[in-house]
Structure 1
Amino acid sequence: MRQFLEADLVDHLHVVLVPIVLGRGVRLWDGLESLESRFAVESVTSPSGVTHLTFTRR
């Protein structure tokens, strides 16, 4: 996902964040600070704590 975003090949992206920790993992957003200028971002949190992020190209 990170490589496609860095290469500017994504038009629509739906990411589901679940509030659990599994080891060290991979940091998704490091180095991708310019996403908000290229995408409209919608964030919806459910009562269970799951957050849905939708990125749509502007």
Structure 2
Amino acid sequence: MRFSAGWAGGDLEYSPVSPERVAEFQGDTAVDDGHYRHPVRFVRLREDVVVKHVPHFGA
């Protein structure tokens, strides 16, 4: 699947994946339509959490 991204100057490829690991990230509270307005930062992988116990973003 491909879609256009005006800020990237061309098409971007979309490759859906199945989650297998849980990562912790840090972001601010600026969210528009379910998307963070500013870049987020990777903190660490969470080996103590399984994917099925993580709620969907915005749930």
Q: TM-score, normalised by structure 1?
A: 0.31
Query: Looking at CA atoms only, which structure, 1 or 2, has the larger radius of gyration?
Result: 2
Higher relative contact order (CA 8 A, sep 6+): 1
Q: TM-score, normalised by structure 2?
A: 0.31
